[in-house]
Structure 1
């Protein structure tokens, strides 16, 4: 949902022919608001998505602005735009992901408990990782980069052989002991992607599990892979992805290994902040976007105040109506998506006897019947600075 050429949105206005949102905005730049027009040269700066993940997505990272411009100039058929792609995933269901490098202590435990992983590294790399000062989460960057690069560049036969050894051992040992979450994940990933080096790469990365309503954000050059679950995702307007594992798609291993931030530790998890009784806001440290969740109890209404920038709304559950100041009113239902120009305000009414997805409503721990919407917009701090 947005203006990126890889999957652009269309504006539907009554009986008129659908028009690209990008073209509509060129005719109506005021819909972006003065600050957004000035800051992003008339472009919608964010892209809004919904993901439903049945099979792990690739081990990947998104380039920063400078690298994105270089990659787009040299490989425009692969890297389709010159923009960076910070992003945030907000869990709708239980959500699993690999995100960032594990701390030095956990990596030492991997070296001591996963012999197949250790055997793939050079002896001096093992020694460097084992001797990293665990009290300094940034102290092992050089050793970590060397070790990660070694494993990601292994030949396929070596990877396949050691993976067979790993899987055989884990399948045997799970008969007599409970496997660790990472070991269980390795079994799942190997079934989805046989002989893939990404299974070993997962031991380098934090394995996180989000509850519905929790979010994780990713800056440029942070390795990650979404494993399972459903989420709404927001990002800067870009489709640039550098992949190197758990994928049949093009792999750019050299670029990935050279671009990554080799910083260790768990990512920040956001729970959102209540900005009104019915609105929870998730604000990552990126100017391009934020996401809000709006909950309108059955039979109630809320006023949505005007904001200085554009918004895209997704009706996630329920039915109701939206009424603008001038009196125009339209019904809304689960699955509807609408664009709101800057400076507009409206009233949301949740109708009784909702026909939405009660399962989805119950999963977030709220319970009850509500009209639930997600809003993507420019980060509010842009307008307050």
Structure 2
């Protein structure tokens, strides 16, 4: 078992205080958006033995277990993060595995550099992900029904939005959502900026259900993504609640501190709320235009005190242990590789003592027990795979 030293990514949307407060360190004054735990080559965690990706590459079977190597190859198939959103993230969607493989191959044949601003596919993998709230957390996820969206947009009283309301009311669900998103993203930029500005003023004045969109418009004035965001369900997660984001589901995080786990991929197609490239035709190929209420996940009790967040993919599995003071040590041994993260209290994992924000990598099959220390309840999240 190895204590991890992890990299903080200073993206502009990050909170300046949330991650430092969790770690118990002084803020730097700069945004701290994500703390990465894993073997992603962009910012691998470091062990005393070296970077985690190099440690795994040196002996994949020893570190990951033979079953995981057979199923996923000789690499850790997930990336684990602490995510701190101080301002809204871009509105985005991820491809499924077949779309990613096709898109990556097409761009490779076209010799588009991986770092080109207009490149969509950085790898051939999909990117399902799960966000679990550590504090109250706000986001957008999946499409509202056209009827609900029409009612929301009409309530702003903005004349230039009336054609969108009519469009939503005139077509079946999938066609209505597709046509409206297409219309928003292909509209004349100056005309759309004026519409967004008027809509933002109305949203701030009305408040209530419009407040999240007023906040988004404050950070992205005139961006067509503000109107696109109104097509999506607004979701509030309480600490311990989670949300799974599958392929083709448009989403954005607005604010809050959470832990995120995802398949190892950088494939993102953006719908707005960003100065980065928006490839409308490819986006429309990937988005799933299904209206549905987003499912809020709560952990389900399992054996040995483990609480599991049930998801439909195998590249990652997230669970939680709440370790009571003075209780017997919990058996944390697994036949899969795992990263364990303390988020509250202090815990002892094997011979290591961890506080909030500290983590360890545990090779497959390594015997391990964990317990709370200092008389406090300790919370530990486990990231692993399904084999």
TM-score by length of 1: 0.82
Instruction: Render the CA deviation track for 1:171-200: whole Å, top value 9, x for unaligned.
Output: 4x44xxxx331x112211111111111111
| 1:343-362 mapped onto 2 (5 Å cutoff) | 343-352=365-374
Bigger CA drift: 19-28 or 45-54?
A: 19-28
Distance 1:317 1:218, change over 3 A: same
Q: CA RMSD in A?
A: 2.1
Instruction: Determine the C-alpha separation between the residues in 2 that align with 1:250 and 1:22.
Output: 30
Question: Following the alignment from structure 2 to structure 1, what is the Cα–Cα distance between the partners of residues 200 and 289?
Answer: 28
2:167/2:180 contact within 8 Å kept:
no
Cα distance in 1, alignment partners of residues 378 and 176 from structure 2: 51
Indicate if the aligned counterparts of 2:346 and 2:378 stay in contact, CA closer than 8 A.
Answer: yes
Tell me, yes or no, if structure 1 residue 4 matches structure 2 residue 40.
yes
1:1-385 correspondence runs (5 A): 1-13=37-49, 19-30=50-61, 31-73=63-105, 74=107, 75=112, 76-77=114-115, 78=119, 79-116=121-158, 119-120=160-161, 123=163, 126-132=165-171, 139-171=172-204, 173-174=205-206, 179-181=207-209, 183-276=210-303, 278-323=305-350, 329-352=351-374, 369-379=376-386, 382=387
Contact 1:305 1:344 (8 Å CA) reproduced: no
How far the C-alpha of 1:314 sits from its partner, in A, is 1.1
Give the whole-Å Cα distance in 2 for the aligned partners of 1:280 and 1:28: 31
SS of 1:5's equivalent? coil
SS at match of 1:217: strand
* 1:153–1:344 CA distance, 2 compared to 1 (3 A): same
C-alpha distance in 1 between matches for 2:237 and 2:287: 23
**Greater alpha carbon shift after TM alignment, 104-113 vs 142-151:** 104-113
Structure 1 stretch displaced more, 36-45 or 344-353: 344-353
Q: Aligned residues, how many?
A: 340
Q: Which has the larger radius of gyration?
A: 1
1:335-359 superposed Cα distances (whole Å, 9 cap, x missing partner):
3221111112212132225xxxxxx
- Structure 1: 5+ residue stretches without partners: 14-18, 133-138, 324-328, 354-368
Gaps of 5+ in 2: 1-36
Question: 335-344 vs 45-54, which deviates more?
Answer: 335-344
Q: Which stretches of structure 1, 4 residues or longer, exceed 6 Å deviation after superposition?
A: none
Q: Which moved more, 1:259-268 or 1:248-257?
A: 248-257
Provide the secondary structure at the position in 2 that maps to 1:243. Answer: strand
Higher mean C-alpha displacement, 204-213 vs 99-108: 99-108
SS at match of 2:38: coil
Q: Distance in 1 between matches of 2:237 and 2:344?
A: 21
